[in-house]
Amino acid sequence: MRILITGGAGFIGSNLAKTMIEAGHTVTVIDDLSTGYADNLDNMNIEFHHASILDEGTLDQAVAGQDSIVHLAALGSVPRSIRNPGRSHEVNATGTLKVLESARREGVGHVIMSSSSSVYGSNPALPKHEREWVRPMSPYAVSKLAAEQYLLAYQSAYDMQTLAFRFFNVYGPGQRAGHVYAAVIPIFLDALLRGEPLPINGDGTNSRDFTYVGTVCEVLKRAVENRSESPEPVNLAFGTNTSLIELTEKIAEVTGFPVDLDFRAPRAGDVPHSQAANEKLRNLFPSLQPTSLTQGLRETFAWFQSTISKNS
């Protein structure tokens, strides 16, 4: 199959490109490298378009002839969206609309996209079911909700096969630290290897449903190969609930390093707790076996160590 991955030079996108190539598929990537890295795609046999999904001409070139699109291009981070809500909307909502329109122009009838657990926002229910009410707490969450709803609307309006996955705190090898919008696990592992305290925003009781990137890529691969679709969003996580304090304890256990903590003020827009109901995901992929947090942290830590040794 011919697969286009938007945002394919990013953390999840580059892992997915590798997974797809290893499965024998032909991969095209479009990425403006605003948050992704060209070296994530080193030694991969892909067709690469260095452009934004907002560039309709180049987007159409990338979309033409594809069997399926996995739309991962986005401007992530709640704090970034609070600083610049207009840009988050432009890339995440308008960008998704442009991808869908390009798919329609070029006759590509299957589109998968990454939405976010952040759309649940202030809804306190645990676990989060896809039919629960949503109440976004940040412009980022609003933009992802708009994007997934566009995807679902295109099923009804244009008979397109679409599937919107709500990602929950994806982590793993290739997810970098060292920038202001880095995710919590790379921040923690980077601090640990530097001999610094692990920074915690709030009191450490905030909890997340951490999902290993290898598991996410396996789901996306199967969804492409099966041309999976759904009339509703689907949570892509497995119902775990790990507080930040528990995460630091697990990191200490896995790495054998002593852990010190640096408690800081809570961040605006952060959701207190996140845990997925996964019945819809299990129905779509009943044989899927997720990677445990222990194993995922072990593999992620090994990647961090290897990266540091290469750069030293």
Q: Would you say residue 298 has pLDDT above 70?
A: yes
Is residue 86 domain-resident? yes
pLDDT digit string (tens) for 269-289?
777 888 999 999 999 999 999
Is residue 157 domain-resident? yes
Which range (124-138, 170-184, 199-213, 216-230) has the least confidence?
Answer: 170-184
Is residue 309 domain-resident? no
pLDDT band at 306 (very low <50, low <70, confident <90, very high): confident
Is the C-alpha dihedral spanning 61, 62, 66, 68 positive or negative? negative
Domain containing residue 7: CATH number: 3.40.50.720
Beta bridge partners of 40: none
Determine how many CB atoms are found less than 10 A away from the CB of residue 205.
Answer: 12
- Residue that has been written with the tokens 């998968």 in this structure: 112
| pLDDT on residue 181 | 54
| pLDDT on residue 180 | 54
Average pLDDT over residues 98-105: 98
Residue 261 CA to residue 275 CA, distance in Å, equals 24
| pLDDT on residue 41 | 96
| pLDDT on residue 79 | 85
pLDDT digit string (tens) for 85-96?
999 999 999 999
Is residue 7 domain-resident? yes
| pLDDT on residue 271 | 77
pLDDT band at 220 (very low <50, low <70, confident <90, very high): very high
Residue 249 CA to residue 296 CA, distance in Å, equals 15
Is residue 293 domain-resident? no
Average pLDDT value for the chain: 93
Q: Enter the tokens of residue 258.
A: 């002593």
pLDDT band at 177 (very low <50, low <70, confident <90, very high): confident
Q: Would you say residue 312 has pLDDT above 60?
A: no
pLDDT digit string (tens) for 231-262?
999 999 999 999 999 999 999 999 999 999 98
Residue 99 CA to residue 56 CA, distance in Å, equals 8
| pLDDT on residue 226 | 97
What total number of domains does the chain contain? 1
C-alpha of 283 from chain center: 21
Is residue 222 domain-resident? yes
Is residue 259 domain-resident? no
Q: Would you say residue 311 has pLDDT above 70?
A: no
Q: Would you say residue 78 has pLDDT above 90?
A: no
Domain boundaries, position 74? 2-169+212-238
| pLDDT on residue 182 | 65
CA proximity to 88, closest of 33, 146, 36: 146
Is residue 179 domain-resident? no
